[in-house]
Structure 1
């Protein structure tokens, strides 16, 4: 099935390229699956498990950010604080609109 690419227009050529790339990916996946089966069969034939040979992958640990100390405190409600990071809370914006300055709201 030879395709004469000289007779294809731009659209037809792009379609051919896209189809070829899809087929190439399919072939790669098939080859990887066959190789995986061969490796697993070899491991089992030797009396081991996959984990024995390759170990188990430890889950990636997510670093959690330490809480940041409050930098600003709502004068009307001392329980409401803000670290100064992220979106400004409504009470902070309301205080600024009421004429307060940031330094007035420092904790």
Structure 2
């Protein structure tokens, strides 16, 4: 890989590079996790076991259940990526604006 001179890059180029690096790290982490799971399963199998026999099945309330993901009902007008489903604790951006006199319906999607 050729050396990258970050000192001569513009802010936009640096931000783009950062995004690419984060994506590459996440991909490498997933790849390594998958490889390790396969190696562990293969090793357990060579000794006559399954991974679930060695480490047990998931326990607790959420074992075997999938978590439902709520649909966003409210969004921050300054940053549409900041959303809230209306369930659970109100996000800080919403609490702040409600304190200043805004109505909850002002943020409905």
Give the structure-2-normalised TM-score: 0.52
How many pairs does the alignment contain? 61
Post-superposition CA distance 1:42-90 (Å, at most 9, x none): 01001011221011113516xxxxxxxxxxxxxxxxxxxxxxxxxxxxx
1:36 corresponds to which residue?
37
1:56 has 2:41 as partner = no
Aligned partners of 2:3, 2:9: CA distance in 1, in Å?
13
Task: Give 1:20-99 correspondences, 5 Å limit.
Answer: 20-60=21-61
Aligned partners of 1:58, 1:4: CA distance in 2, in Å?
49
| Structure with the bigger percentage of strand | 2
Post-superposition CA distance 1:7-26 (Å, at most 9, x none): 11111111111101110111
Aligned partners of 2:59, 2:33: CA distance in 1, in Å?
23
Give the structure-1-normalised TM-score: 0.53
2:17 corresponds to which residue?
16
Aligned partners of 1:46, 1:13: CA distance in 2, in Å?
49
Gaps of 5+ in 1: 62-107
* Greater C-alpha Rg: 1
RMSD after superposition: 1.3
List 4+ stretches of structure 1 deviating above 2 A: none
